[in-house]
Homo-oligomer: A and B are copies of this chain.
Amino acid sequence: MQLDHATPEQLRQWESELTAEYKTIVAQNLSLDLTRGKPSPEQLSLSDALDGILKGNYQAEDGTDSRNYGGLDGLPEGKRLGADIMGVDPDSILVGGNSSLTLMFQTMLTAHHFGLTGPESAWKHSGTVKFICPVPGYDRHYTVCEQLGIDMVTVPMLDDGPDMDAVEELIKQDPSIRGLWCVPKYSNPTGVVYSDETVERIAALGKIAHGTFRVFWDNAYAVHDLTDTAPALSSIAEACARLGTEDSVVQFASTSKITHAGAGVAFVSASPANLKGLKAFLSTCTIGPDKINQIRHARFLPNQQALHTHMRKHAQLLQPRFEAVLQALESEFKGTDLGTWETPIGGYFVSFDTRPNCARETVRLAAEAGVKLTPAGATFPYGKDPQDRNIRIAPSVPSVAEVVSAMKVFVVCVKLASVRTKLA
């Protein structure tokens, strides 16, 4: 199918055929869901040994009684687990509660209102504050900015990371830029891994940006490879150390998509100056993180080998689901002008770009045919995809057979929306 070279007659014939096909699908009363970027019950069960793992031994490696108050920055074994996941120095780690989103919010709140490096460093003193958001991206990042009154400016996400020419240009031109959101590995939703050059250029932003500029490096899928030959993400901590920009990047990760999604352990990795500022804030609003859960996780995943073995089990469950999505896209859209996509080998999403002005209609058609998709626009700040093209597909929760069924509906909806838009 090549819409741009089709005659009006051909388009009308396609429209008629696709409408008939779509009606057949609607009549099947399907109920399928490709919206949820969360682990399936089978994945969660991989970690059910967590409860009971302590066998009465609540003592941390350093002798701390994990049951009592305190330990604002985490136990040694909790830090080591974070370091194993993120590929950083354990000393750079602060262990949080069950949500890295909370740590990101707290870090941004601290930077904006209270100052990461003293009260005078608070962004709010500078009037308008802006963050750079590569698009498409993660809606929860946008919500954090919105909640704190931080404006968002977008740059395109390319197949090797954010468009760094655009990022550098924005920073040079606009003195109100204070940060950049990044999901560097298996980016949400496009699934790309930032190239070595991109990582290097991001680490170098601290040289041209405002002194309080911070890259929020949300390494949510650091060890979430679908294949054994996973691409390595270059170390931004090492690049920053080399360039002397250690304070310009704050890294985040969690075990949410490693063990139990809602009951995991979250981590920050940052420079001593940033950790000091974050700890000063945290000391006012928590009695310390859940240290028992840190020990549970550290005993369940005691080293990198155990972590790797565990993540291979996730991959075995996820990989066929991704394959079902990608096979459908390739068999139906390869060589057409109906859409483009990346082929992620990790993470939780496949991102599909329709022809302009077709995403919303595709999602609407799919919903009417019983296939729930993430609302079009959700991957853009303020929910506004200016070209109305991007759709995020999340195949982790349904069964492989359900993903296959859902994708059959999806491709028909894409085609029908495309043809109708072309005819309109």
Contact = CB atoms under 8 A, between A and B. Distances in A.
Interface of A: 38-39, 41, 44, 47-48, 51-56, 58, 65-71, 97-99, 101-102, 105-106, 109, 113-114, 143-144, 146-147, 256, 260-263, 281, 283-293, 296
A118 to B, nearest CB: 14
Contacts of A44: 58, 65, 67-68
Contact of A261 (B68, B286, B293): B68
Contacts of A281: 147
B67 A102 contact: no
Given A54-B51, A68-B44, A256 B287 contact: yes
A55 B144 CA distance: 37
Given A52-B51, A68-B262, A285 B114 contact: no
21 contacts: A38-B68, A41-B68, A44-B65, A48-B56, A51-B51, A51-B53, A51-B55, A67-B261, A68-B262, A69-B261, A70-B262, A98-B287, A101-B286, A102-B285, A109-B109, A143-B283, A144-B284, A147-B285, A262-B290, A290-B293, A293-B293
Given A51-B52, A69-B256, A262-B70, A286 B99 contact: yes
Contacts of A39: 68
A311 B324 CA distance: 55
Nearest to A36: B69
A260 B67 contact: yes
A262 B78 CA distance: 15
A144 B287 CA distance: 12
Given A67-B260, A286-B101, A292-B263, A48 B38 contact: no
Nearest to A254: B287
A292 B101 contact: no
A102 B296 CA distance: 23
Contact of A58 (B48, B291, B292): B48
Contact of A262 (B69, B98, B261, B296): B69
A109 to B, nearest CB: 8
> Which of A48, A106, A287 has the most chain B CB within a 10 Å cutoff?
A287
Contact of A69 (B38, B52, B53, B296): B38
A407 to B, nearest CB: 23
Contacts of A97: 97-98, 290
A56 B51 CA distance: 8
A147 B56 contact: no
A68 to B, nearest CB: 5
A143 B283 CA distance: 9
A47 B55 CA distance: 13
Contacts of A106: 285
A263 B297 CA distance: 14
> Which of A54, A55, A69, A114 has the most chain B CB within a 10 Å cutoff?
A69
State the 4 A-B residue pairs at the shortest beta-carbon distance, nearest first.
A52-B52, A105-B285, A67-B260, A263-B292
Contacts of A101: 285-287
